[in-house]
Amino acid sequence: MNNKIVPLLVFPFIISGCMKESKDITIEQVGNTTYLIDQAKKEAFVISKDKLVQLKKSNPTALTIGEVIKHKENISENRIEIETSIKFLERKALYIVKISPVEIKTTNEDGTIKTDRANFEWYKKEIKDFDSYNKVTIRLMDKDNFNLFEKDIRISRDYIRWLGYSGEVDTYVYEGTLDIDADTSKYVTKIDYVWNF
């Protein structure tokens, strides 16, 4: 992230000293350098002549509250596709996991395209067993591939069925919350999966 230079046309009161500090904005003098710190936005600026120069964040990849990350891949020997969206809040995160078949498309002799979804039938049978321990584990990783948080989702529990155009179940959707706070989630850079089918 490049340093941001913000003209002080709207901030003349800062340099003139007319502005009173608040709980969200403070002005600190360290040696010959004056800093403006915005606690609410977690930003810091150096006051330099007629400009505010924004300092780089210590973690430029840090997630912000309300940010969403997504990941999609094929798992279980490419038989199913899993797509995850996670939205990070201050004291938790919300997740949506969608599991659907990997479709195999073939062309018949007459040129029509046939979609084979038979490789999903085994999944439909597995989720009917409420006591099944088959699961997908969502892992939230940092930029160095360390596991910051993980959540097991038992595939036979708490799912929503989405129907496709054919009237058959097209996708299974799992939704819930993750007990991860902003101090940890800000270091998440990617989602990984471990499955036990």
DSSP letters of 143-170?
A: TT--EEEEEEEETTSSEEEEE-TTSSEE
Write down the pLDDT at residue 14: 43
Write down the pLDDT at residue 11: 45
Write down the pLDDT at residue 144: 92
* CB atoms inside a 10 Å sphere around CB 19: 14
Q: Looking at the whole model, is its pTM more than 0.75?
A: no
95 within 8 A of 102, measured Cβ to Cβ: no
Backbone φ, ψ for residue 46 (5° rounding)? -95, 130
Out of 23-37, 103-117, 119-133, 173-187, the most confident range is: 173-187
Per-residue pLDDT tens over the stretch 49-77: 778 877 665 454 566 777 888 988 887 77
How is residue 41 annotated by DSSP? T
Per the structure block, which two tokens stand in for 14?
A: 């800062």
Per-residue pLDDT tens over the stretch 146-180: 999 999 998 888 888 887 767 777 788 999 999 99
E strands, the chain, in order: 5-7, 25-30, 33-38, 43-48, 51-54, 68-75, 80-88, 93-101, 104-107, 113-116, 135-141, 147-154, 159-163, 169-178, 190-196
Domain ranges across the chain: 5-54, 68-196
More confident residue, 121 or 184: 184
Give yes or no for residue 6 having a pLDDT over 60: no
